[in-house]
Chain A
Amino acid sequence: MLVLGKYRLPGMSSLLLWALLWEIVGRSGLTFFVPPFSEVCVTLFNVIGTPAFVKALQETAVAFFAGVFFAIVIGIPVGILMGKSRLLDELLLPWVNMFLSAPLTALVPVLMVLFGFGMQAIIITTTLFAIWIIILNARAGVMQINRSLVEMARSFGATPMDAFVKIYFWAALPEILGGVRIGVIRAVKGVIIGQLLISIVGFGALFELYSANFLMAHFWAVLLVLFAMAFAVSELLAALERRVAYYAASR
Protein backbone atom coordinates (compact mmCIF):
# COMPACT_ATOMS: atom_id res chain seq x y z
CA MET A 1 0.00 0.00 0.00
CA LEU A 2 1.19 3.53 -0.81
CA VAL A 3 0.80 6.37 1.67
CA LEU A 4 0.62 9.99 0.44
CA GLY A 5 1.17 8.66 -3.03
CA LYS A 6 4.84 7.72 -2.66
CA TYR A 7 5.76 5.89 0.54
CA ARG A 8 5.40 2.15 0.27
CA LEU A 9 4.33 0.54 3.53
CA PRO A 10 5.86 -2.84 4.30
CA GLY A 11 3.43 -5.78 4.53
CA MET A 12 1.35 -6.06 7.68
CA SER A 13 2.00 -2.48 8.78
CA SER A 14 -1.55 -2.41 10.01
CA LEU A 15 -0.41 -4.64 12.89
CA LEU A 16 1.56 -1.66 14.24
CA LEU A 17 -1.65 0.33 14.43
CA TRP A 18 -3.41 -2.45 16.33
CA ALA A 19 -0.43 -2.83 18.69
CA LEU A 20 -0.64 0.90 19.40
CA LEU A 21 -4.36 0.65 20.14
CA TRP A 22 -3.67 -2.32 22.42
CA GLU A 23 -1.03 -0.26 24.25
CA ILE A 24 -3.45 2.65 24.75
CA VAL A 25 -6.26 0.40 26.02
CA GLY A 26 -3.79 -1.36 28.32
CA ARG A 27 -2.38 1.87 29.74
CA SER A 28 -5.81 3.39 30.30
CA GLY A 29 -6.37 0.72 32.94
CA LEU A 30 -9.81 -0.10 31.55
CA THR A 31 -9.59 -3.76 32.51
CA PHE A 32 -7.01 -5.95 34.17
CA PHE A 33 -7.71 -8.47 31.41
CA VAL A 34 -5.73 -6.40 28.88
CA PRO A 35 -2.29 -5.39 30.13
CA PRO A 36 -0.34 -2.97 27.89
CA PHE A 37 1.24 -4.49 24.79
CA SER A 38 4.74 -3.47 25.92
CA GLU A 39 4.28 -5.36 29.18
CA VAL A 40 3.16 -8.45 27.26
CA CYS A 41 6.26 -8.22 25.07
CA VAL A 42 8.58 -7.93 28.06
CA THR A 43 6.85 -10.89 29.69
CA LEU A 44 7.15 -12.80 26.43
CA PHE A 45 10.93 -12.43 26.39
CA ASN A 46 11.16 -13.37 30.06
CA VAL A 47 8.98 -16.43 29.63
CA ILE A 48 10.45 -17.73 26.40
CA GLY A 49 13.66 -19.12 27.90
CA THR A 50 12.14 -20.76 30.95
CA PRO A 51 12.16 -24.56 31.18
CA ALA A 52 8.39 -24.61 31.65
CA PHE A 53 7.88 -22.74 28.39
CA VAL A 54 10.41 -24.83 26.44
CA LYS A 55 8.77 -28.02 27.67
CA ALA A 56 5.31 -26.71 26.73
CA LEU A 57 6.56 -25.68 23.30
CA GLN A 58 8.06 -29.13 22.77
CA GLU A 59 4.91 -30.97 23.83
CA THR A 60 2.73 -28.76 21.69
CA ALA A 61 4.99 -28.95 18.66
CA VAL A 62 5.21 -32.75 18.80
CA ALA A 63 1.43 -33.15 19.09
CA PHE A 64 0.80 -30.53 16.43
CA PHE A 65 3.21 -31.88 13.82
CA ALA A 66 2.25 -35.49 14.45
CA GLY A 67 -1.43 -34.59 14.14
CA VAL A 68 -0.89 -32.60 10.94
CA PHE A 69 1.32 -35.37 9.55
CA PHE A 70 -1.42 -38.00 9.94
CA ALA A 71 -4.07 -35.61 8.62
CA ILE A 72 -2.00 -35.08 5.47
CA VAL A 73 -0.87 -38.65 4.76
CA ILE A 74 -4.36 -40.02 5.35
CA GLY A 75 -6.39 -37.05 4.11
CA ILE A 76 -4.79 -36.48 0.71
CA PRO A 77 -5.01 -40.08 -0.60
CA VAL A 78 -8.55 -40.48 0.76
CA GLY A 79 -9.60 -37.21 -0.90
CA ILE A 80 -8.01 -38.19 -4.22
CA LEU A 81 -9.65 -41.63 -4.12
CA MET A 82 -13.02 -40.04 -3.35
CA GLY A 83 -12.59 -37.72 -6.31
CA LYS A 84 -11.75 -40.69 -8.56
CA SER A 85 -14.29 -43.24 -7.38
CA ARG A 86 -17.98 -42.49 -7.40
CA LEU A 87 -18.69 -45.39 -5.05
CA LEU A 88 -16.17 -44.30 -2.42
CA ASP A 89 -17.45 -40.75 -2.73
CA GLU A 90 -21.04 -41.78 -2.07
CA LEU A 91 -19.91 -43.82 0.92
CA LEU A 92 -17.66 -41.28 2.59
CA LEU A 93 -18.87 -37.81 1.61
CA PRO A 94 -21.74 -37.59 4.14
CA TRP A 95 -19.33 -38.49 6.95
CA VAL A 96 -16.70 -36.03 5.82
CA ASN A 97 -19.25 -33.22 5.62
CA MET A 98 -20.67 -34.15 8.99
CA PHE A 99 -17.30 -34.16 10.74
CA LEU A 100 -16.28 -30.96 8.99
CA SER A 101 -19.12 -29.06 10.61
CA ALA A 102 -19.49 -31.15 13.77
CA PRO A 103 -18.53 -29.61 17.11
CA LEU A 104 -15.44 -31.79 17.44
CA THR A 105 -14.77 -30.48 20.94
CA ALA A 106 -17.80 -32.45 22.07
CA LEU A 107 -16.18 -35.60 20.74
CA VAL A 108 -13.03 -35.17 22.78
CA PRO A 109 -14.43 -36.97 25.88
CA VAL A 110 -15.23 -39.95 23.63
CA LEU A 111 -11.66 -39.91 22.34
CA MET A 112 -10.44 -39.90 25.94
CA VAL A 113 -12.44 -43.05 26.64
CA LEU A 114 -11.10 -44.70 23.51
CA PHE A 115 -7.47 -43.58 23.58
CA GLY A 116 -6.70 -42.59 27.16
CA PHE A 117 -5.37 -39.37 28.55
CA GLY A 118 -1.97 -39.21 26.89
CA MET A 119 -0.27 -37.78 23.88
CA GLN A 120 -2.02 -40.28 21.63
CA ALA A 121 -5.45 -38.80 22.28
CA ILE A 122 -4.17 -35.25 21.74
CA ILE A 123 -2.60 -36.21 18.41
CA ILE A 124 -5.83 -37.85 17.30
CA THR A 125 -7.80 -34.75 18.28
CA THR A 126 -5.42 -32.60 16.23
CA THR A 127 -5.76 -34.92 13.24
CA LEU A 128 -9.55 -34.88 13.52
CA PHE A 129 -9.61 -31.09 13.43
CA ALA A 130 -7.39 -30.89 10.35
CA ILE A 131 -8.24 -33.87 8.19
CA TRP A 132 -11.74 -33.17 6.86
CA ILE A 133 -10.99 -29.98 4.99
CA ILE A 134 -7.87 -31.63 3.55
CA ILE A 135 -9.98 -34.52 2.26
CA LEU A 136 -12.62 -32.20 0.80
CA ASN A 137 -10.08 -30.02 -0.99
CA ALA A 138 -8.13 -32.94 -2.44
CA ARG A 139 -11.44 -34.36 -3.66
CA ALA A 140 -12.43 -31.03 -5.23
CA GLY A 141 -9.01 -30.78 -6.88
CA VAL A 142 -9.35 -34.20 -8.47
CA MET A 143 -12.92 -33.60 -9.62
CA GLN A 144 -11.96 -30.55 -11.69
CA ILE A 145 -9.11 -32.41 -13.42
CA ASN A 146 -9.02 -32.18 -17.19
CA ARG A 147 -10.36 -35.53 -18.50
CA SER A 148 -8.01 -35.54 -21.44
CA LEU A 149 -4.98 -35.57 -19.10
CA VAL A 150 -6.29 -38.83 -17.67
CA GLU A 151 -6.96 -40.20 -21.15
CA MET A 152 -3.51 -39.10 -22.24
CA ALA A 153 -1.88 -41.01 -19.39
CA ARG A 154 -3.99 -44.09 -20.15
CA SER A 155 -3.25 -43.96 -23.86
CA PHE A 156 0.48 -43.91 -23.13
CA GLY A 157 0.12 -46.95 -20.91
CA ALA A 158 -0.05 -45.49 -17.38
CA THR A 159 -0.85 -47.95 -14.61
CA PRO A 160 -3.45 -46.79 -12.04
CA MET A 161 -0.55 -46.09 -9.67
CA ASP A 162 1.22 -43.97 -12.33
CA ALA A 163 -1.96 -42.00 -12.92
CA PHE A 164 -2.40 -41.46 -9.18
CA VAL A 165 1.15 -40.25 -8.55
CA LYS A 166 1.91 -38.49 -11.84
CA ILE A 167 -1.44 -37.01 -12.84
CA TYR A 168 -4.08 -36.84 -10.12
CA PHE A 169 -1.79 -35.66 -7.32
CA TRP A 170 -0.15 -32.91 -9.35
CA ALA A 171 -3.34 -31.78 -11.04
CA ALA A 172 -5.01 -31.43 -7.65
CA LEU A 173 -1.97 -29.93 -5.91
CA PRO A 174 -3.15 -26.29 -5.85
CA GLU A 175 -6.39 -27.33 -4.13
CA ILE A 176 -4.56 -29.81 -1.90
CA LEU A 177 -2.20 -27.11 -0.63
CA GLY A 178 -5.14 -24.78 0.00
CA GLY A 179 -6.78 -27.53 2.04
CA VAL A 180 -3.61 -28.27 3.98
CA ARG A 181 -3.21 -24.58 4.81
CA ILE A 182 -6.71 -24.34 6.26
CA GLY A 183 -6.27 -27.76 7.92
CA VAL A 184 -3.10 -26.61 9.65
CA ILE A 185 -4.88 -23.58 11.08
CA ARG A 186 -7.63 -25.86 12.38
CA ALA A 187 -4.98 -28.17 13.81
CA VAL A 188 -3.70 -25.34 16.01
CA LYS A 189 -7.19 -25.15 17.48
CA GLY A 190 -7.27 -28.93 17.82
CA VAL A 191 -3.98 -29.27 19.64
CA ILE A 192 -4.84 -26.58 22.22
CA ILE A 193 -8.33 -27.95 22.81
CA GLY A 194 -6.78 -31.41 23.20
CA GLN A 195 -4.26 -30.11 25.69
CA LEU A 196 -6.93 -28.30 27.67
CA LEU A 197 -9.46 -31.09 27.80
CA ILE A 198 -7.50 -34.33 27.68
CA SER A 199 -4.46 -33.82 29.80
CA ILE A 200 -3.19 -30.52 31.00
CA VAL A 201 0.12 -30.40 29.13
CA GLY A 202 1.90 -28.08 26.75
CA PHE A 203 0.53 -24.65 25.95
CA GLY A 204 -2.87 -25.76 27.15
CA ALA A 205 -1.38 -26.24 30.61
CA LEU A 206 0.24 -22.80 30.47
CA PHE A 207 -3.06 -21.18 29.48
CA GLU A 208 -4.78 -22.96 32.31
CA LEU A 209 -2.09 -21.98 34.80
CA TYR A 210 -1.88 -18.31 33.78
CA SER A 211 -5.58 -17.64 33.52
CA ALA A 212 -6.31 -19.40 36.82
CA ASN A 213 -3.74 -17.13 38.49
CA PHE A 214 -4.81 -13.99 36.62
CA LEU A 215 -1.34 -13.66 35.03
CA MET A 216 -2.79 -11.90 32.01
CA ALA A 217 0.51 -10.66 30.58
CA HIS A 218 1.79 -14.24 30.61
CA PHE A 219 -1.45 -15.45 29.10
CA TRP A 220 -1.29 -13.01 26.21
CA ALA A 221 2.41 -13.70 25.68
CA VAL A 222 1.80 -17.40 25.13
CA LEU A 223 -1.14 -16.61 22.89
CA LEU A 224 1.11 -14.34 20.80
CA VAL A 225 3.63 -17.15 20.41
CA LEU A 226 0.88 -19.48 19.28
CA PHE A 227 -0.48 -16.95 16.77
CA ALA A 228 3.00 -16.39 15.39
CA MET A 229 3.55 -20.13 14.96
CA ALA A 230 0.23 -20.67 13.21
CA PHE A 231 0.81 -17.64 11.03
CA ALA A 232 4.31 -18.78 10.05
CA VAL A 233 3.15 -22.26 9.06
CA SER A 234 0.22 -20.90 7.11
CA GLU A 235 2.41 -18.36 5.29
CA LEU A 236 4.88 -21.10 4.42
CA LEU A 237 2.06 -23.08 2.81
CA ALA A 238 0.73 -19.99 1.06
CA ALA A 239 4.20 -19.53 -0.43
CA LEU A 240 4.09 -23.14 -1.68
CA GLU A 241 0.66 -22.45 -3.14
CA ARG A 242 2.05 -19.50 -5.06
CA ARG A 243 4.75 -21.75 -6.48
CA VAL A 244 2.13 -23.94 -8.16
CA ALA A 245 -0.15 -21.02 -9.06
CA TYR A 246 1.43 -20.75 -12.50
CA TYR A 247 -0.38 -23.85 -13.60
CA ALA A 248 -3.45 -23.63 -11.40
CA ALA A 249 -5.08 -21.35 -13.96
CA SER A 250 -4.15 -23.39 -17.02
CA ARG A 251 -5.18 -26.91 -16.19
Chain B
Amino acid sequence: MVMPQTERAFTPDTVDDAVTVKRITKSYGAVEALKNMTLSFPRGELTSLLGPSGCGKTTLLKIIAGLLEPTSGEVLVNGRAVTGPGPDRAFVFQDFALLPWASVMRNVAFGLELRGVAQSEREAIAEKYIAHVGLKGFERAYPHELSGGMRQRVGLARALSVDADVLLMDEPFSAVDEQTRRKFQEDLLNLVKTENKTFIFVTHSIEEAVYVSDQIAILLPRPSRVSQIIRPQGFRDKDVDNIRRDPEYLDIVDDIWSSLRSYVE
Protein backbone atom coordinates (compact mmCIF):
# COMPACT_ATOMS: atom_id res chain seq x y z
CA MET B 1 0.00 0.00 0.00
CA VAL B 2 1.34 3.38 -0.93
CA MET B 3 0.05 6.43 0.84
CA PRO B 4 0.27 9.88 -0.69
CA GLN B 5 3.22 11.75 0.66
CA THR B 6 2.46 15.00 2.41
CA GLU B 7 5.44 17.23 2.12
CA ARG B 8 5.62 20.47 3.96
CA ALA B 9 6.71 23.09 1.49
CA PHE B 10 10.24 24.22 2.17
CA THR B 11 10.03 27.86 3.13
CA PRO B 12 13.33 29.04 4.59
CA ASP B 13 12.43 32.42 6.05
CA THR B 14 8.96 32.04 7.52
CA VAL B 15 9.97 29.92 10.52
CA ASP B 16 13.30 29.72 12.25
CA ASP B 17 14.37 26.13 11.73
CA ALA B 18 17.40 24.86 13.63
CA VAL B 19 17.62 21.75 11.47
CA THR B 20 16.39 21.21 7.96
CA VAL B 21 16.44 17.91 6.11
CA LYS B 22 16.24 18.34 2.35
CA ARG B 23 15.37 15.49 -0.02
CA ILE B 24 17.38 12.90 1.88
CA THR B 25 17.68 9.47 0.32
CA LYS B 26 19.60 6.66 1.92
CA SER B 27 19.92 3.32 0.23
CA TYR B 28 21.80 0.20 1.16
CA GLY B 29 22.35 -1.46 -2.21
CA ALA B 30 18.89 -1.95 -3.69
CA VAL B 31 17.12 -1.31 -0.38
CA GLU B 32 15.94 2.24 0.17
CA ALA B 33 15.98 3.03 3.87
CA LEU B 34 14.89 6.62 3.32
CA LYS B 35 13.38 8.09 0.17
CA ASN B 36 13.38 11.75 -0.74
CA MET B 37 12.64 12.91 2.78
CA THR B 38 12.16 16.58 3.58
CA LEU B 39 11.50 17.81 7.09
CA SER B 40 12.06 20.90 9.24
CA PHE B 41 12.79 21.13 12.92
CA PRO B 42 11.79 24.50 14.46
CA ARG B 43 14.26 26.04 16.87
CA GLY B 44 13.63 25.62 20.57
CA GLU B 45 11.00 22.96 20.04
CA LEU B 46 10.86 19.22 20.46
CA THR B 47 10.08 17.27 17.32
CA SER B 48 9.35 13.56 17.53
CA LEU B 49 10.05 11.09 14.77
CA LEU B 50 7.39 8.45 15.25
CA GLY B 51 6.68 5.35 13.26
CA PRO B 52 6.64 1.58 13.14
CA SER B 53 9.93 -0.30 13.19
CA GLY B 54 11.77 -0.21 9.89
CA CYS B 55 10.49 3.25 8.98
CA GLY B 56 13.99 4.71 9.06
CA LYS B 57 13.60 7.05 12.02
CA THR B 58 16.89 6.08 13.63
CA THR B 59 18.60 6.20 10.23
CA LEU B 60 17.34 9.76 9.75
CA LEU B 61 18.54 10.74 13.22
CA LYS B 62 22.00 9.31 12.57
CA ILE B 63 22.19 11.16 9.26
CA ILE B 64 21.36 14.41 11.07
CA ALA B 65 24.03 13.50 13.65
CA GLY B 66 26.55 13.05 10.84
CA LEU B 67 27.15 9.44 11.84
CA LEU B 68 25.70 8.15 8.58
CA GLU B 69 26.10 9.63 5.16
CA PRO B 70 22.99 10.11 3.02
CA THR B 71 23.07 8.72 -0.51
CA SER B 72 21.67 12.03 -1.73
CA GLY B 73 20.16 15.19 -0.28
CA GLU B 74 21.48 17.40 2.49
CA VAL B 75 21.01 18.29 6.12
CA LEU B 76 21.33 21.89 7.28
CA VAL B 77 22.03 22.73 10.91
CA ASN B 78 21.80 26.46 11.61
CA GLY B 79 22.00 26.95 7.86
CA ARG B 80 25.24 25.02 7.43
CA ALA B 81 25.41 21.72 5.59
CA VAL B 82 26.29 18.70 7.72
CA THR B 83 29.37 16.77 6.62
CA GLY B 84 29.97 14.83 9.84
CA PRO B 85 29.48 15.04 13.58
CA GLY B 86 29.84 18.55 14.97
CA PRO B 87 29.76 20.51 18.22
CA ASP B 88 26.34 21.95 17.31
CA ARG B 89 24.71 18.54 17.91
CA ALA B 90 24.80 16.10 20.80
CA PHE B 91 23.50 12.55 20.82
CA VAL B 92 21.67 10.58 23.51
CA PHE B 93 21.85 6.85 22.86
CA GLN B 94 19.21 4.19 23.31
CA ASP B 95 21.64 1.88 25.13
CA PHE B 96 23.23 4.85 26.98
CA ALA B 97 26.71 4.22 25.47
CA LEU B 98 28.55 4.96 28.70
CA LEU B 99 32.20 4.07 29.20
CA PRO B 100 31.91 1.19 31.67
CA TRP B 101 35.46 1.76 32.93
CA ALA B 102 34.91 5.42 33.74
CA SER B 103 33.15 7.14 36.64
CA VAL B 104 29.96 9.13 36.20
CA MET B 105 32.09 12.28 36.37
CA ARG B 106 34.39 11.22 33.54
CA ASN B 107 31.47 9.94 31.47
CA VAL B 108 29.59 13.22 31.73
CA ALA B 109 32.76 15.19 31.00
CA PHE B 110 33.77 12.89 28.14
CA GLY B 111 32.33 15.06 25.38
CA LEU B 112 34.27 18.02 26.76
CA GLU B 113 37.37 15.85 27.20
CA LEU B 114 37.28 15.01 23.49
CA ARG B 115 37.02 18.72 22.75
CA GLY B 116 40.19 19.37 24.71
CA VAL B 117 38.63 21.27 27.62
CA ALA B 118 40.99 21.33 30.63
CA GLN B 119 40.20 18.85 33.37
CA SER B 120 39.24 21.25 36.15
CA GLU B 121 37.03 23.25 33.83
CA ARG B 122 35.24 20.27 32.32
CA GLU B 123 34.69 18.67 35.73
CA ALA B 124 33.13 21.88 37.01
CA ILE B 125 30.72 21.87 34.07
CA ALA B 126 30.04 18.13 34.45
CA GLU B 127 29.36 18.56 38.16
CA LYS B 128 26.73 21.16 37.37
CA TYR B 129 24.92 18.91 34.91
CA ILE B 130 25.20 15.83 37.13
CA ALA B 131 23.33 17.82 39.77
CA HIS B 132 20.96 19.13 37.10
CA VAL B 133 19.82 15.61 36.11
CA GLY B 134 19.49 14.61 39.76
CA LEU B 135 22.59 12.49 40.24
CA LYS B 136 24.38 14.61 42.81
CA GLY B 137 26.43 12.34 45.06
CA PHE B 138 27.01 9.74 42.33
CA GLU B 139 29.98 11.51 40.71
CA ARG B 140 32.42 8.75 41.71
CA ALA B 141 30.06 5.84 40.95
CA TYR B 142 30.56 3.56 37.95
CA PRO B 143 27.85 2.79 35.38
CA HIS B 144 27.43 -0.83 36.50
CA GLU B 145 26.51 0.43 39.95
CA LEU B 146 23.62 2.50 38.59
CA SER B 147 20.09 1.54 37.53
CA GLY B 148 19.05 1.84 33.89
CA GLY B 149 17.27 5.10 34.54
CA MET B 150 20.27 6.62 36.29
CA ARG B 151 22.53 5.52 33.45
CA GLN B 152 20.39 7.35 30.96
CA ARG B 153 20.54 10.43 33.18
CA VAL B 154 24.32 10.20 32.83
CA GLY B 155 23.90 9.98 29.04
CA LEU B 156 21.64 13.01 29.13
CA ALA B 157 24.04 14.99 31.33
CA ARG B 158 26.87 14.20 28.92
CA ALA B 159 24.83 15.50 25.99
CA LEU B 160 23.80 18.63 27.91
CA SER B 161 27.29 19.44 29.13
CA VAL B 162 28.69 20.04 25.63
CA ASP B 163 26.03 22.76 25.24
CA ALA B 164 25.03 21.86 21.70
CA ASP B 165 22.15 23.68 20.00
CA VAL B 166 20.51 20.45 18.91
CA LEU B 167 19.91 17.41 21.08
CA LEU B 168 19.38 14.16 19.17
CA MET B 169 17.68 11.46 21.22
CA ASP B 170 17.42 7.93 19.90
CA GLU B 171 14.63 6.15 21.81
CA PRO B 172 16.30 7.34 24.99
CA PHE B 173 13.69 5.95 27.36
CA SER B 174 12.97 2.61 25.73
CA ALA B 175 15.46 0.73 27.91
CA VAL B 176 14.14 2.02 31.22
CA ASP B 177 11.11 0.89 33.18
CA GLU B 178 7.68 2.47 32.83
CA GLN B 179 7.72 4.56 36.01
CA THR B 180 11.19 5.89 35.36
CA ARG B 181 10.12 6.67 31.82
CA ARG B 182 7.17 8.79 32.99
CA LYS B 183 9.48 10.76 35.26
CA PHE B 184 11.88 11.20 32.35
CA GLN B 185 9.11 12.49 30.11
CA GLU B 186 8.13 15.11 32.69
CA ASP B 187 11.76 16.12 33.12
CA LEU B 188 12.15 16.33 29.36
CA LEU B 189 9.25 18.78 29.11
CA ASN B 190 10.95 20.99 31.71
CA LEU B 191 14.21 20.68 29.84
CA VAL B 192 12.62 21.84 26.58
CA LYS B 193 11.17 24.86 28.41
CA THR B 194 14.33 25.87 30.23
CA GLU B 195 17.24 24.86 28.01
CA ASN B 196 16.34 26.70 24.81
CA LYS B 197 17.64 23.88 22.65
CA THR B 198 16.15 22.07 19.70
CA PHE B 199 15.24 18.47 20.49
CA ILE B 200 14.86 15.71 17.92
CA PHE B 201 13.37 12.70 19.57
CA VAL B 202 12.96 9.24 18.09
CA THR B 203 10.35 7.01 19.69
CA HIS B 204 8.02 4.16 18.86
CA SER B 205 5.60 5.05 21.64
CA ILE B 206 2.61 7.07 20.43
CA GLU B 207 1.69 8.28 23.91
CA GLU B 208 5.25 9.35 24.58
CA ALA B 209 5.48 11.27 21.32
CA VAL B 210 2.21 13.11 21.88
CA TYR B 211 3.06 13.82 25.51
CA VAL B 212 6.44 15.45 24.94
CA SER B 213 6.30 16.91 21.42
CA ASP B 214 5.69 20.33 19.96
CA GLN B 215 5.64 18.66 16.57
CA ILE B 216 5.26 15.02 15.61
CA ALA B 217 6.47 13.69 12.28
CA ILE B 218 4.83 10.38 11.43
CA LEU B 219 7.12 8.22 9.32
CA LEU B 220 5.88 5.26 7.33
CA PRO B 221 7.99 2.41 5.95
CA ARG B 222 8.62 0.77 2.58
CA PRO B 223 9.71 3.17 1.21
CA SER B 224 10.25 5.44 4.20
CA ARG B 225 8.58 8.78 3.99
CA VAL B 226 6.93 11.45 6.10
CA SER B 227 3.21 10.79 6.02
CA GLN B 228 1.94 13.46 8.37
CA ILE B 229 3.07 16.28 10.61
CA ILE B 230 1.03 16.96 13.70
CA ARG B 231 1.36 20.00 15.96
CA PRO B 232 -0.56 19.65 19.23
CA GLN B 233 -1.96 23.07 20.12
CA GLY B 234 -4.09 23.09 23.24
CA PHE B 235 -2.28 21.23 25.98
CA ARG B 236 1.35 22.16 25.49
CA ASP B 237 1.22 24.86 28.14
CA LYS B 238 -0.74 22.86 30.66
CA ASP B 239 1.17 21.43 33.57
CA VAL B 240 2.48 17.89 33.31
CA ASP B 241 -0.27 16.29 35.36
CA ASN B 242 -3.12 17.39 33.13
CA ILE B 243 -1.78 16.55 29.69
CA ARG B 244 -2.81 12.90 29.69
CA ARG B 245 -6.44 13.87 30.49
CA ASP B 246 -6.70 16.49 27.79
CA PRO B 247 -9.26 15.60 25.06
CA GLU B 248 -6.89 16.83 22.34
CA TYR B 249 -4.12 14.58 23.67
CA LEU B 250 -6.45 11.58 23.56
CA ASP B 251 -7.72 12.43 20.08
CA ILE B 252 -4.24 12.76 18.65
CA VAL B 253 -3.16 9.45 20.18
CA ASP B 254 -6.20 7.76 18.61
CA ASP B 255 -5.66 9.40 15.23
CA ILE B 256 -2.05 8.35 15.08
CA TRP B 257 -2.89 4.81 16.09
CA SER B 258 -5.53 4.49 13.39
CA SER B 259 -3.09 5.65 10.74
CA LEU B 260 -0.29 3.37 11.97
CA ARG B 261 -2.42 0.33 12.75
CA SER B 262 -2.20 -1.20 9.28
CA TYR B 263 1.63 -1.04 9.33
CA VAL B 264 2.04 -3.10 12.47
CA GLU B 265 2.57 -6.78 11.82
Q: A244-B101, A247-B100 are in contact. Are A156 and B93 (CB under 8 A)?
A: no
B144 touches A157 (CB 8 A): no
Quick check: A151 and B99 within 8 Å, CB to CB? no
Cβ-defined partner of B143 (8 Å) among A153, A156, A162, A250: A250
Query: Which residues of chain B (77-116) have a CB below 8 Å from chain A?
Result: 85-87, 89-91, 93-95, 97, 99-101, 110-111, 113-115
Q: B51-78, CB under 8 A of A: which get 1 and which 0?
A: 0000000000010011100000000000
Contact B101 A148 (CB under 8 A): no
Does residue B162 face the partner (Cβ distance < 8 Å to A)? yes
Contact B97 A149 (CB under 8 A): yes
Main DSSP-derived SS at the A contact region: helix
**Binary B-proximity of A150-174 (CB < 8 A = 1, otherwise 0):** 0111111110001000110010010
A148 to chain B minimum Cβ distance, whole angstroms, is 4
Residues in A whose Cβ lies below 8 Å from that of B86: 157
Q: How many angstroms between the C-alpha atoms of A167 and B113 in the bound complex? A: 13
Report the contact-size class of chain A (Cβ under 8 Å from the partner).
20 to 34
B144 and A250: CB pair below 8 A? Answer: yes
* CB of B138 closer than 8 Å to a CB of A: no
Contact with B along A226-251 (1 / 0, CB 8 A): 00000000000000000010110111
Contact A151 B97 (CB under 8 A): yes
Contacting residues, chain B, for A247 (C-beta < 8 A): 100-101, 142-144
- Among residues of B, the one whose C-beta sits closest to the C-beta of A154 is B85
Name the residue of chain A whose CB is nearest to the CB of B158. Answer: A156
Q: Which residues of A contact B89 (CB under 8 A)?
A: 155
Chain B's closest residue to A173 (CB) is B101
Residue contact B114 to A162, C-beta cutoff 8 Å: yes
Q: Is the CB of A148 within 8 A of B97?
A: yes
Q: Is A146 an interface residue (CB 8 A)?
A: yes
Q: Which A residues lie within 8 Å of B100 (CB)?
A: 247, 250-251
List of A residues within 8 angstroms of B91 by Cβ: 151-152, 155-156
Q: Which residues of A contact B90 (CB under 8 A)?
A: 155-156
Q: Are the CB atoms of A157 and B95 closer together than 8 Å?
A: no
Task: List B contacts of A151 (CB < 8 A).
Answer: 62, 67, 91, 93, 97
- Residues of A contacting B101 in the complex (Cβ-Cβ under 8 angstroms): 170, 173, 244, 247
Question: Which positions in A face B, CB cutoff 8 Å?
Answer: 146, 148-149, 151-158, 162, 166-167, 170, 173, 244, 246-247, 249-251
